[in-house]
């Protein structure tokens, strides 16, 4: 891919961040170039070529740029730098290390190194001289925040190589030569711990990508219990503003059972990223006892940062995810919000004067989204080990309308749908995931059902389906009550409705800001669900419909106290006892 | 306009539209400003040596042989402490008859703050309005708009919030302000004796609409001066952002761009985000808080302007007239302050979060009861109690003329809980009930 004689060109036209460049040699689509503007050089990407004119999108403001400015093409696409030291870093959409930048304001044309070149890592070889290796094979490992960070044969090196030399266990910087490999005709290649990869190309060096089958615990009850996501699964969270997309995403990224969490803040609020910066170094990962920030990578391209880099940010995040997956790790990737990325595509398509599709989005939007989601997944690596990328994206539908192009396109690509409902948010029923409209396709997978049966409980699946039925029947009963009036319906309607309210208040609603309620382990979820279903299946005697609501409010209150109390403690059992007494009084 | 002797003057325009002119020129930079027969213009497109300029005042009366000179710089504002107490137009020139500002000249529309150099907003801004302090607490460094119909008293409420909030500077960015509203702000600030900490950039309905595009950047450049250079807390008021967005659509339309939803430019989200994201808390103590107004047409929040705004800002405040009590209230259902979680129960009393949520839930039950009543159904005893609770809650908490501190608001709410409900109906954590339940 690298070229010796680099193509150059000069600027001939400018409209906002779209720049027309007259070139004097070959250029390729998506090639990176630098435009000289006084002492600065601005990074840009080729997005269209017409004859001798290359249309490039500039990742920076073009203020002050003049026709005639020199442009130098780089001979490669937008790449990320991969190596130890990515964890806990805060990058922008182009993988510049934000902490290395000077001053309060972002400076145009300032690009910083994503890695620390001085730090020494303790390297342990995993391969030996004479081994045959292919791209993605593990040569050695270093300890990165207690994760076994594998040093692999670079993904760009196609074919089979033989290890000619590999360093002994010891402390090395990332740029230190750790191995020498030779290919069939004897050409030697020196390897360090660093490699580069173009973000828009998927890293495909694994043996097999089976259907996901393992549950990924998030601690969020209305996901884990009702519509679970799997390791290597895909899901999306559409919701109008103010329905709690970001709070839910943060909850998942704090609690989910993953080795690596990548948060791509794509065109969203800066203060939300600051919240992660502030809280994650303080919060503990309950599974490892280590700080959350140690397993987290943040790609922050907030809404006021350049639009073109916003588009790049999700690809940067996905590529870093693929890199860690190739080490056999469980990666969770969250992108907030994919709508902003789609809007970035729209802005460029508009400036290119392309014929627009629905709502002025580019015609290939759907294809771009599907292609991106397809990069997630559970894989068997060439050495038989497994790794996964679970991807959850939020969608911000214009006007809260789920029929808009980004939501529609995402629905085709993602397997879990967590629709946030305005009505639930308005009545402060958080998380506002609509229990009826949302779905997880994984519940229908026989391999997932099998997994749940073995790992959660034999009755689990039937219980979950029961709970879903109760919710649906409760909704129907409520509609009837609203039409016919409280005394216009049989008493059973009130009971049905309140039984669904019980599930709603105790299982679905969860206080993300309460230390105990925020995250519920699977064992506790199972206990609570079976407890609630036993109430739902009991028969009670009521004289008047007002008694129904009074009774169930008492029951809900006691259950909620249980939710706020540490599991399986004396206090917990005390509430349970009180609950039994309330229930017994009404038992029929 | 200013002009420099060595600058080349062009005298031939090739195209003129309602908002733009095109000419052949060389050595011109993007975003640079120019003077066309004395009118201020900005470069919006360069294609070879064809330069397209957007004329802020409109192109009325511009001849093809107009005199054009390029100033070689983007729009600028002179900043110094002398800004305090002054009124300016959209170009940053004084309109109060006072002298020109002496100080440092800065480009407007500065780059974004590096997110890792921000601090998490954590200072509560008290307004005394319970609909805000109790239910939708504001925090310094936040950006939040009023979503209001044109007939609602949003400018009055905003002025009240601005004067009660304890900030070092208040910067008013008025876009398409009627002359009456402009004078209203001037009087209110004057009467409160606060004029020396207020700076205003005003584009009234008498000025050309495209000029408005400069107002937020002018106001925020001044805000950054006080927040960054002087470590002050600055409150920026932007009214009305809908008129700002309308001006954006006029320009994009004249430039033949393909409109997206509601005839707005496809870049509306980025354009608005660039402004609102200037709200920031700096570690040094300086901060910029933005309170804006987005007027709605017929209460429709799905229109592209409020919709995009809602995705950018940290919540929104709705005003509504409550017919039960005949007063304007801050609507508890649709209003939201996203940053309240950072301060409630931390800088305020521990029971704040639960009391707030419970009261709103009960208020929602009252709304359901009212629907039942309207549909001719009998009310239960619980329904009756929620209705009487809701009325008192509106009157004593939500009405915007309430002015008490947060502890008092919480005490009042507990009192209402105790008077209208049983403990189980309230369903608040036991330890809080034990401590605060009104005996």
Interface check B93 vs A, CB under 8 A: no
Interface check A275 vs B, CB under 8 A: yes
User: For residue B6, what pLDDT band results from cuts at 50, 70 and 90?
Assistant: low
Residue B375 has pLDDT above 90, yes or no: no
- Give residue A1's pLDDT: 42
Region A121-195: CATH code: 2.40.50.100
Q: Check A107 against B44: CB less than 8 A apart.
A: no
Query: pLDDT tens digits, residue range B200-246?
Result: 999 999 988 889 999 999 999 999 999 999 999 999 999 999 999 99
Helix axes A545-563, A522-537, angle to 10 degrees: 160
CB proximity under 8 Å: B 23-52 to A: 26-32, 44-49
Distance from CA of A121 to the nearest CA of B (A): 26
User: For residue A588, what pLDDT band results from cuts at 50, 70 and 90?
Assistant: low
- Give residue B120's pLDDT: 93
Distance from CA of B404 to the nearest CA of A (A): 25
CB proximity under 8 Å: B 315-334 to A: 315-316, 333-334
Residue A476 has pLDDT above 60, yes or no: yes
Give this prediction's pTM: 0.92
Q: How far apart are CA B332 and CA B323, in angstroms?
A: 15
Q: How far apart are CA B234 and CA B288, in angstroms?
A: 5
In 3-state terms, what secondary structure has residue A188?
Answer: strand
Residue A25 has pLDDT above 50, yes or no: yes
Distance from CA of B401 to the nearest CA of A (A): 24
Average pLDDT over residues B260-284: 92
Residue B3 has pLDDT above 50, yes or no: no
Residues of B in contact with A426 (CB under 8 A): 333-334, 364
Place of tokens 């004084």: B94
Distance from CA of A166 to the nearest CA of B (A): 39
Bridge partners for A123 per DSSP: A142, A170
- Give residue B304's pLDDT: 92
Average pLDDT over residues A309-322: 95
Task: Assign domain A8-77 to its CATH architecture.
Answer: Beta Barrel (2.40)
- Give residue B255's pLDDT: 77
Average pLDDT over residues A567-581: 95
Q: Do the Cβ atoms of B62 and B103 come closer than 8 Å? A: no
- Give residue A3's pLDDT: 46
Question: Was domain B80-107+140-313 assigned CATH 3.40.50.12240?
Answer: yes
Residue A165 has pLDDT above 90, yes or no: yes
Interface check B213 vs A, CB under 8 A: no
Distances (CA, A) of A278 to A334, B171, B343, B346: 18, 29, 14, 16
CB proximity under 8 Å: A 95-124 to B: 98-99, 101, 103-108
- What average pLDDT does chain A have? 93
- What average pLDDT does chain B have? 91
In 3D, which of A238, A369, A368, A376 has the Cα closest to residue A318? Answer: A376
- Give residue B1's pLDDT: 42
Q: Do the Cβ atoms of B81 and B36 come closer than 8 Å? A: no
Region B9-70: CATH code: 2.40.30.20
How far, in whole angstroms, is CA A184 from its chain's centroid? 40
Query: pLDDT tens digits, residue range B161-172?
Result: 889 988 999 999
Q: List, as one string, the DSSP characters of B52-117.
A: EEEETT--TT--TT--EEE-SS--EEEESGGGTT-EE-TTS-B-SS-PPPPSEEEESSPPPBPGGG
Place of tokens 């790449």: A79
CB atoms within 10 A of CB B81: 11
Interface check B192 vs A, CB under 8 A: no
User: For residue B297, what pLDDT band results from cuts at 50, 70 and 90?
Assistant: confident
In 3-state terms, what secondary structure has residue A351?
Answer: helix
Domain boundaries, chain B: 9-70, 80-107+140-313, 352-436
User: For residue B438, what pLDDT band results from cuts at 50, 70 and 90?
Assistant: confident
Distance from CA of B360 to the nearest CA of A (A): 8
**pLDDT over 70, % of chain A:** 99
Question: Was domain A460-586 assigned CATH 3.30.300.30?
Answer: no
Interface check A22 vs B, CB under 8 A: no
- Give residue A426's pLDDT: 79
User: For residue A428, what pLDDT band results from cuts at 50, 70 and 90?
Assistant: confident
- Give residue B301's pLDDT: 87
Instruction: Give the A:B interface size as CB pairs under 8 Å.
Output: 207
- Give residue A260's pLDDT: 96
Q: Check B30 against A271: CB less than 8 A apart.
A: no
Q: How far apart are CA A483 and CA A489, in angstroms?
A: 9
**CATH assignment of A221-410, among 1.10.357.10, 3.40.50.300, 3.60.15.10, 1.10.10.60:** 3.40.50.300
Record the tokens describing residue A212, joined without a space. Answer: 């996901």
Q: Which residue has the higher pLDDT, B86 or A588?
A: B86
Residue B250 has pLDDT above 90, yes or no: no
User: For residue A173, what pLDDT band results from cuts at 50, 70 and 90?
Assistant: very high
What is the ipTM, given to two decimal places?
Answer: 0.88
- Number of H helices and E strands in chain B, helices first, is 12, 21
Q: Is A568 exposed, middle or buried (0-12, 13-18, 19+ CB in 10 A)?
A: exposed
Domain boundaries, chain A: 8-77, 121-195, 221-410, 460-586
Interface check A274 vs B, CB under 8 A: yes
SS3 content of chain B, % helix, strand, coil (to 5): 40, 25, 40
Record the tokens describing residue A147, joined without a space. Answer: 């994760």
Residues of B in contact with A401 (CB under 8 A): 302
User: For residue B430, what pLDDT band results from cuts at 50, 70 and 90?
Assistant: confident
Task: Name the residue of chain B whose CA is nearest to A279's CA.
Answer: B120
Q: Do the Cβ atoms of B194 and B167 come closer than 8 Å? A: no
Of A248-257, A391-400, B1-10, B42-51, where does mean pLDDT reach its minimum? Answer: B1-10
Of A186-200, A215-229, B257-271, B358-372, where does mean pLDDT reach its minimum? Answer: B257-271
CB proximity under 8 Å: B 216-235 to A: 228
Query: pLDDT tens digits, residue range A338-376?
Result: 999 998 898 888 888 888 888 889 999 999 999 999 999
- Give residue B2's pLDDT: 46
Record the tokens describing residue B338, joined without a space. Answer: 């996203």
């Amino acid at each position: 891919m690298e070229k010796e004689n680099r193509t150059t060109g000069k600027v001939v036209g400018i409209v906002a961040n779209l720049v027309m460049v007259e070139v004097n040699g070959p250029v390729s689509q998506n090639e990176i170039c630098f435009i000289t503007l006084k002492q600065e050089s601005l990074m840009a990407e080729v997005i269209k070529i017409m004859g001798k004119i290359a249309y490039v999108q500039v990742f920076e403001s073009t203020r002050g740029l003049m026709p005639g400015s020199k442009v130098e093409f780089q001979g490669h696409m937008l790449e990320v730098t991969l190596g130890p030291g990515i964890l806990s870093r805060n990058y922008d959409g182009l993988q510049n290390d934000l902490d290395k930048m000077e001053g309060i304001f972002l400076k145009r044309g300032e690009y910083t190194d994503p890695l620390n070149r001085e730090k020494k890592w303790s390297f342990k070889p995993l391969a030996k001289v004479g081994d045959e290796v292919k791209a993605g094979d593990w040569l050695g490992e270093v300890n990165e925040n207690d994760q076994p960070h594998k040093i692999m044969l670079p993904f760009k090196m196609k074919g089979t190589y033989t290890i000619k030399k590999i360093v002994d266990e010891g402390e090395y910087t990332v740029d230190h030569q750790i191995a020498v490999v030779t290919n069939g005709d004897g050409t030697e290649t020196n390897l360090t711990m660093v490699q580069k990869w173009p973000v828009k190309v998927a890293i495909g060096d694994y043996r097999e990508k089976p259907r996901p089958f393992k549950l990924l615990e998030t601690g969020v009850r209305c996901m884990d219990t009702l519509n679970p996501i799997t390791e290597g699964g895909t899901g999306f969270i559409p919701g109008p503003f103010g329905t709690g997309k970001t709070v839910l995403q943060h909850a998942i990224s704090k609690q989910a059972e993953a080795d690596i969490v990548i948060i791509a803040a794509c065109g969203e609020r800066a203060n939300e990223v600051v919240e992660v910066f502030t809280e994650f170094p303080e919060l503990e990962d309950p599974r490892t006892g280590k700080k959350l920030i140690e397993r987290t990578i943040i790609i922050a391209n907030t809404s006021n940062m350049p639009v073109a880099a916003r588009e790049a940010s999700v690809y940067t995040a996905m590529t870093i995810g693929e890199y860690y997956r190739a080490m056999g790790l469980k990666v969770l990737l969250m992108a907030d919000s994919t709508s902003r990325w789609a809007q970035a595509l729209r802005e460029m398509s508009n400036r290119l004067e392309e014929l627009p599709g629905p709502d002025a989005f580019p015609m290939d939007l759907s294809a771009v989204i599907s292609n991106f989601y397809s990069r997630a997944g559970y894989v068997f690596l060439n050495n038989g080990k497994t790794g996964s990328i679970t991807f959850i994206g939020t969608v911000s539908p214009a006007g809260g309308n789920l029929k808009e192009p980004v939501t529609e396109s995402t629905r085709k690509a993602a397997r879990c749908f967590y629709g946030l409902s305005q009505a639930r948010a308005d009545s402060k029923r958080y998380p506002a995931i609509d229990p009826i409209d949302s779905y997880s396709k994984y519940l229908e997978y026989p391999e997932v059902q099998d997994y749940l049966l073995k790992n959660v409980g034999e009755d689990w699946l039937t219980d979950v389906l029961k709970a879903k039925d109760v919710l649906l029947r409760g909704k129907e009963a409520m509609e009837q009550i609203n039409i016919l009036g409280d005394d216009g319906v049989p008493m059973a309607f009130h009971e049905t409705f309140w039984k669904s309210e019980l599930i709603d208040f105790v299982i679905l609603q969860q206080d993300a800001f309460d230390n105990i309620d925020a995250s519920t382990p699977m064992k506790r979820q199972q206990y609570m669900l079976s407890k609630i279903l036993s109430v739902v299946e009991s028969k009670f005697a009521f004289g008047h419909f007002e008694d129904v609501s009074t009774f169930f409010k008492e029951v809900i209150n006691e259950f909620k106290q249980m939710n706020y109390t540490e599991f399986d403690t004396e206090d917990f059992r005390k509430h349970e006892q009180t609950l039994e007494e309330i229930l017994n009084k009404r038992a029929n | 306009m200013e002009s420099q002797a060595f600058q080349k003057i062009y005298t031939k325009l090739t195209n003129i539209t309602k908002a733009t002119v095109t000419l052949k020129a060389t050595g011109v930079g993007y975003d640079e400003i120019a003077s066309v027969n004395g009118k201020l213009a900005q470069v919006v497109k360069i294609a070879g040596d064809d330069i397209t300029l957007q004329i802020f005042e409109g192109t009325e009366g511009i001849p093809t042989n107009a005199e054009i000179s390029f100033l070689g710089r983007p729009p600028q504002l002179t900043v110094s402490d002398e800004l305090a107490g002054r009124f300016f137009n959209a170009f940053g020139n004084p309109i109060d008859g006072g002298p020109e500002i002496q100080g440092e000249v800065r480009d407007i529309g500065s780059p974004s703050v590096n997110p890792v150099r921000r601090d998490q907003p954590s200072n509560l801004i008290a307004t005394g309005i319970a609909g805000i302090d109790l239910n939708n607490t504001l925090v310094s460094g936040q950006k939040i708009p009023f979503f209001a119909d044109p007939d609602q008293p949003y400018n009055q409420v905003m002025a009240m919030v601005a004067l009660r909030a304890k900030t070092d500077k208040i910067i008013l960015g008025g876009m398409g302000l009627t002359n009456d509203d402009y004078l209203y702000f001037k009087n209110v600030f004057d009467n409160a004796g606060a004029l020396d900490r207020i700076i205003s950039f005003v584009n009234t309905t008498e000025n050309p609409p495209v000029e408005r595009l400069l107002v937020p950047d002018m106001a925020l450049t001044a805000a950054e001066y006080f927040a960054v250079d002087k470590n002050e807390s600055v409150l920026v008021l932007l009214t009305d952002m809908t008129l700002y967005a309308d001006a954006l659509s006029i320009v994009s339309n004249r430039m033949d761009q393909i409109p997206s939803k509601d005839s707005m430019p496809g870049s509306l989200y980025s354009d608005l985000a660039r402004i609102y994201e200037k709200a920031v808390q700096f570690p040094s103590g300086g901060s910029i808080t933005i309170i804006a107004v987005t007027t709605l047409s017929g209460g429709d929040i799905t229109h592209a302007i409020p919709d995009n705004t809602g995705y950018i800002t940290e919540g929104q405040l709705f005003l509504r007239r409550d017919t039960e009590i005949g007063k304007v209230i801050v609507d508890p259902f649709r209003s939201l302050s996203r940053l309240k979680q950072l301060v409630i129960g931390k800088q305020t009393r521990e029971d704040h979060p639960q009391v707030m949520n419970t009261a709103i839930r009960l208020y929602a039950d009252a709304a359901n009861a009212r629907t039942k009543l309207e549909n001719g159904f009998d009310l239960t005893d619980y329904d009756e109690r929620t209705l009487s609770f809701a009325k008192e809650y509106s009157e004593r908490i939500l009405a915007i003329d309430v002015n008490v501190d947060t502890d008092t608001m919480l005490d009042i709410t507990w009192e209402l809980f105790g008077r209208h409900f049983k403990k189980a109906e309230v369903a608040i954590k036991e330890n809080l009930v034990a401590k605060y339940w009104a005996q």
